């Protein structure tokens, strides 16, 4: 368990996001030179757009990002997503790749985060 973070029940503006971000300590090695709001926005975009938000039993959700090996940018996108998560205090690492399957000739790269109320 990490520190308790006070979050609003409803986000009404950017000030609400800034208040939450100011309570979260980045993990070591998560500095990319980009601002925290930028990294939050990038991670939120990935969570909404490409990532799955899985729940195991009664635990909080975790982020799983699966990207095709077909594209040369997939590893960079996945690694940067992981860096953004770490900047928000959320462990996220590369997992074992998914090998080539019928109808999916390229296989997939996989990243998974820890379970967190932040993802919920």
* Sheet containing 92-98, strands listed edge to edge, beginning at the edge strand earlier in sequence: 52-55, 61-68, 108-113, 92-98
Burial of 105 (0-12, 13-18, 19+ CB in 10 A): exposed
- pLDDT at residue 82 greater than cutoff 90: yes
pLDDT tens digits for range 6-50: 888 899 999 999 999 999 999 888 888 899 999 999 999 998 887
Mean pLDDT of 59-75: 87
CATH topology of domain 14-113: Endonuclease I-creI (3.10.28)
* Domain map (residue ranges) of the chain: 14-113
Pairing label, strands 52-55, 61-68: antiparallel
Mean pLDDT of 104-112: 87
Query: Which residue's entry shows tokens 């019928």?
Result: 102
- pLDDT value at residue 83: 95
The count of other CB atoms within 10 Å of the CB of residue 15 is 9
Prediction pTM value: 0.85
């Amino acid at each position: 368990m990490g520190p308790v973070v006070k979050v609003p029940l409803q986000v009404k503006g950017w000030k609400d996001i800034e208040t939450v971000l100011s309570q979260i300590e980045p993990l070591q090695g998560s500095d990319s030179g980009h601002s925290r709001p930028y990294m939050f926005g990038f991670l939120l975009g990935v969570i909404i757009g490409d990532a799955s938000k899985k729940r195991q039993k009664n635990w909080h959700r975790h982020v799983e990002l699966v990207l095709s090996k077909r594209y040369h940018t997939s590893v960079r996108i996945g690694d940067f997503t992981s860096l953004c998560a770490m900047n928000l205090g959320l462990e996220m690492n590369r997992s074992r790749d998914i090998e080539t399957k019928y109808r999916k000739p390229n296989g997939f790269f996989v990243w998974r985060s820890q379970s967190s109320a932040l993802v919920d």
